[in-house]
Structure 1
């Protein structure tokens, strides 16, 4: 029988609802006992190794005793942080006040219409709009998410796609936060939403054929949440009669469907993260035809394609770890026909491309900076778009128009709010279309950003991006929040975050550690941070923390860490390896039970992650994961102050991973430091869906750091 002992009494809660002292030092409620999860040992044996999981029973989402335990954790959190209620409200108000509530995106033109979204004052969600031919035309509201979300605690519009005749809008909706979307179609002329709803689809993977009545979509397995089938639907027909056009048989691959920019093809891609890819194509004006393979998949061979006139451009890692650019005739797509356009470079990683009639634009990563390279299609001359700051990020924006010499790109830095430019690729003149308005008295010149390089224990140089308020004294007394992700080859951009201002203005330094596991320094940076090299991610982060202490940006008494999802795994690793280094850690929706999750292919997304973490069926991979998996390596030791978060409906990192982790930490932690667990009972992995509700979660986190610092103003 499951036994949960909840040691919370009304008397102790009431007695401990106290405010801060006159010295502005937060007084944590004393004599309040945390919830204690009962033990029900479950044995796991693999490769002769035995693991005991006392808290495995917590994975029963519908069990009332599990729900009671989670609610008790929230009650304990509320009690322990009751004295920060005013601070949390102040932080929320601050962050919300920096947002321009009545706002509008920069319109972009596609197939005769200008598309944009706008927010109304006080509203949580965007309104999706368009205007025909000119921006002076009457506004057409396609979707008002505020009205659609009425009555829902969570509501997310995933993808949208407009038919070639501009009359039909396909869109997806998730009202649970489980990433199982429903596909619907709206007639933009009559305003009628057609009765057929296709359930359990991917959010953004929808593509119209050229006949304005056929749409392709990706169906998901409701257990694993993996997209595994592409179906064809004809408007006005029963979805039960839809036609299966492709099924992915290898559950290590993620799949998607899309329409090429040239509009000539519908494409299906299969992708095993950073390992293998494969594309299939069908001419969009023959939707009932058969998809043909562009180039068959192989292990350790990736490519992506863009159609251009009578050929395809191909980005590939074939004999080129950082990718090179190739081209091949439209009618002969086999690899033996590929011709090199741009060679591989050891110090530059090509992450993407966008094709125009007269230009080709590449996104390139070098020294943890994302840059844009423009190539003339006629004379093949090229140049990089110049930027003046030393730490920045530049990305291609929305560029649906093929017949234009204007590139729209985004630019940001840790002190420069997100800016949208239209760039003339012939004259090299740029026009600022919009810069994110940051209200509340923000002045860019009050802050400083810099790039540092920490030396890791194996000699690797790890880039760090920092921002802080000018006048900072480097005497070791500053609180510093260090953030990282470090997985899947995802590179963290050193961009602007208006929420961080609330910490910077209270004396914090904010730093991003571009640790191995991302691709900020090229493909080798990723290869050195996954599978049998995963510990480098943890070591890099720890070494960055020690470097910042050595350079007197902070000290162990004021050093804080934060990461979410796979970055939450990073948090779990660093508190096991170096619990003494951090004064406080916030782990958001953390992936911490690596072995158990990766051993269960029915858990969402597991099989697609084998090449990231390893497959426990392999003995060597099992024992390497065993050596760092945070949950399996909790020991009797003094852990730092920690706030751990999750969402009950999380589909990417199931809520029970952090729940079990908290239970085991409570059992074995030898320190008197705070261990708090916040469970959002209404949402999943991404948190709240509204643009303001999200800030409430952020206010909890910042209040936790500030309470530890004794800063309650």
Structure 2
């Protein structure tokens, strides 16, 4: 009996080794390919008596260098290196090309090709977008609110995008008389839009053209004056508001507001009531608004409440009052109102007082009702009440993890609220809700073009991990029925964790390609987001930023300890500030992840925050800290992924970036991969995909973007030995 047992163990071990060897062979294909090695040019970076050596600082190019017709020597070196990394990535992943194609076909195959949005009504017209089969870009349309009205195509996206490697439409606003359309276009992917004007009656373009804007315009009621936001040409900070009169040159435009504080950005919009033009200025800890009657575009602007440190507020107009969401004496925000004639904070009167356990996220004002977007116990809720307080209730939802939010509601005088709902298992729905009768009408549910798809085939759960300091961290997860929770089960853990942006548990038809292959998908609702209230954000920024990283690690370890997976089958993914998260957890706990996908990652924290010419830097001092202060410098340096790369073993890593990225410059991930390859002691896969045509958001077409998704999924599936 004992001999038979030992023999069985030997056979099992041989089988295990054989399986392990086969999988290892798949993983090690890249070892036969020569990886690009970036040259080193040591640059000393000194601050506070500390010296950092950056061997790859040379990779940084200015916009002028990037836009030059003929590249200089430095530009050519950078282009050669980025192209070499792209070629290496393609060679290392070549054996997955069929899998990538299959994944791409699956993903786009689930998307309805001739889809259209649910129309919304505004000022006598019904507005909607629609796609035609095979088209990457939308048609922006409207119809008059009358029987047998003909469709008007305001913007023909497919035609406008012809011949362009990148095409993005920004804000779209129709003049009060319904005859003119202002719209923004970006063809570079730097989020610098040119605003054009179109006569909707004749179809002709006006000669007016407003360059270097944020893409949106606010109409005055005279149908000839617009207000727009201009950007600093170097930092791309939105810093000036101009007034433009149709028929004049942009050089003649009047500067109506200049945001001189370089930690603030500014914007302008038309109030939902159509009564006012509103200018807002904002930074992480402070906001300020001023208003002007839309009837008098040459009139005098009035400030609602002068800016103060740590005072945030947002406004909406209704009747004789402004309604204001504010954190004044309210960590989780409250709703107040103030007369239009007396708007400063001493006049603010509570409408919805502050609550310790509920975060007030937004509000929508109707003639008879007030609708509140609240967050309680980590989940979004929609609260409806009459102005006199009657019929105060919450819309009920059944999923353990979901997202519900108010949609487009331009009409004041209605009892019908339009909202959207989705969960990890439920496709997104657009719903009309009668606030009086509580009756609901589902106008549209996202179609998933897969005959085998049913939301009943998937299971969603809500769990809580315990962080090192005892705080409970929510985890939302989804998997297909029949998926076993075991040490051999692959699991992808995703999060963002910055700026107070909550990572929402929404449905993704794209994600089905992982779930149907046995993956568990989990979201870590870590500090730095705002899921559990404002304190959740405050405890994950500045000198508490490391909570974001340790929370993510604690969630990963919790899922391993609970038997959902094991480190050999755990994957992590995050983008932008979530890419910073990926870089940090790779340095802190590389052995916890078999693979990591870091998308457009913000990894060179100290150098970027030291350089005020880089877009977003000055605007974000209250998020990360100002490293000119030694305390913040030391703290940033202690977690900055690029500064903390060491000679040790790392996970398999896929990095993505865009050459024209205006939010996280391409050189951050490029420098990071060069330093990782130089110092890491393992033979794991390390690759980068740099899209030379796009920026932060990737490809602009609705299908092209999924090429990179297919690459990311193939990267993980290949590490699992899943070939189809």
Question: Could you say which TM-score interval applies, normalised by the shorter chain?
Answer: over 0.9
Deviation at 1:30, TM superposition (A): 3.5
Partners in 2 of 1:565 and 1:645 — Cα distance?
10
Partners in 1 of 2:163 and 2:213 — Cα distance?
22
Partners in 2 of 1:221 and 1:145 — Cα distance?
28
Partners in 2 of 1:140 and 1:27 — Cα distance?
56
SS in structure 2 at match of 1:103: coil
SS in structure 2 at match of 1:693: coil
Partners in 1 of 2:90 and 2:518 — Cα distance?
26
Deviations for 1:279-337, whole angstroms, at most 9, x for unmatched residues?
Answer: 00000000011211000000001111111101111111001000011111121111111
1:643 to 654, 669, 673: 654
Q: State the partner residue of 1:484.
A: 495
Partners in 2 of 1:23 and 1:119 — Cα distance?
44
Q: State the partner residue of 2:35.
A: 34
Partners in 1 of 2:645 and 2:24 — Cα distance?
36
Partners in 1 of 2:322 and 2:28 — Cα distance?
64
2:611 to 600, 603, 606: 600
Partners in 2 of 1:114 and 1:21 — Cα distance?
59
Q: State the partner residue of 1:191.
A: 203
Q: State the partner residue of 2:577.
A: 566
Partners in 1 of 2:174 and 2:372 — Cα distance?
27
Contact 2:173 2:183 in 1 (8 A): yes
Query: Could you tell which deviates more after superposition, 473-482 or 542-551?
Result: 473-482
Q: State the partner residue of 2:120.
A: 108
Partners in 2 of 1:276 and 1:634 — Cα distance?
35
Deviation at 1:472, TM superposition (A): 2.0
Deviation at 1:540, TM superposition (A): 0.3
Change over 3 Å in CA distance of 1:648–1:502 after alignment to 2: same
Q: State the partner residue of 2:330.
A: 320
Contact 2:539 2:545 in 1 (8 A): yes
Q: State the partner residue of 2:188.
A: 176
Contact 2:30 2:685 in 1 (8 A): no
Q: State the partner residue of 2:226.
A: 215
Deviations for 1:187-224, whole angstroms, at most 9, x for unmatched residues?
Answer: 10010111121111002x42100111100000001110
Deviation at 1:392, TM superposition (A): 0.8
Q: State the partner residue of 2:18.
A: none
Deviation at 1:404, TM superposition (A): 1.0
Q: State the partner residue of 1:633.
A: 644
Q: State the partner residue of 1:3.
A: none
Q: State the partner residue of 1:703.
A: 714
2:351 to 341, 349, 352: 341
Change over 3 Å in CA distance of 1:379–1:154 after alignment to 2: same
Q: State the partner residue of 1:668.
A: 679
Q: State the partner residue of 1:54.
A: 55
Contact 1:390 1:451 in 2 (8 A): yes
Q: How does 1:398-437 map to 2 (within 5 A)?
A: 398-437=408-447
SS in structure 1 at match of 2:654: strand
Partners in 2 of 1:110 and 1:24 — Cα distance?
60
1:64 to 76, 93, 104: 76
Deviations for 1:43-77, whole angstroms, at most 9, x for unmatched residues?
Answer: 11111111010000011264111101100001100
Contact 2:230 2:241 in 1 (8 A): yes
1:299 to 309, 315, 323: 309
Q: State the partner residue of 2:692.
A: 681
SS in structure 1 at match of 2:205: coil
Partners in 2 of 1:267 and 1:177 — Cα distance?
27
Contact 1:568 1:591 in 2 (8 A): yes
SS in structure 2 at match of 1:197: strand
Contact 2:142 2:151 in 1 (8 A): yes
Partners in 2 of 1:134 and 1:558 — Cα distance?
58
Contact 2:31 2:683 in 1 (8 A): no
* Superposed CA RMSD: 1.3
Matched, 1:247 2:258: yes
2:145 to 127, 133, 138: 133
Contact 1:114 1:134 in 2 (8 A): no
Change over 3 Å in CA distance of 1:207–1:380 after alignment to 2: farther
Q: State the partner residue of 1:658.
A: 669
Deviation at 1:29, TM superposition (A): 3.8
Change over 3 Å in CA distance of 1:158–1:135 after alignment to 2: farther
SS in structure 2 at match of 1:650: coil
1:153 to 141, 148, 165: 165
Contact 1:414 1:495 in 2 (8 A): yes
Unaligned runs of 5+ residues in structure 2 are 1-20, 67-74
Deviations for 1:83-141, whole angstroms, at most 9, x for unmatched residues?
Answer: 00000000000001000001110000000000000000000001000000147411000
SS in structure 2 at match of 1:395: strand
Deviation at 1:436, TM superposition (A): 0.3
Q: State the partner residue of 2:472.
A: 461
Q: State the partner residue of 1:43.
A: 44
Deviations for 1:494-550, whole angstroms, at most 9, x for unmatched residues?
Answer: 000111100001000001101000000000000000000000000000000000001
Deviations for 1:154-189, whole angstroms, at most 9, x for unmatched residues?
Answer: 000011001100001000000000111000110100
TM-score (norm 1): 0.96
SS in structure 1 at match of 2:133: coil
Partners in 2 of 1:211 and 1:361 — Cα distance?
32
Contact 2:594 2:652 in 1 (8 A): yes
TM-score (norm 2): 0.94
Deviations for 1:248-279, whole angstroms, at most 9, x for unmatched residues?
Answer: 01111121101111111000001112x11100
Partners in 2 of 1:661 and 1:22 — Cα distance?
27
Q: State the partner residue of 1:691.
A: 702
Contact 2:23 2:721 in 1 (8 A): no
Deviation at 1:379, TM superposition (A): 4.1
Change over 3 Å in CA distance of 1:428–1:24 after alignment to 2: farther
Partners in 2 of 1:685 and 1:473 — Cα distance?
36
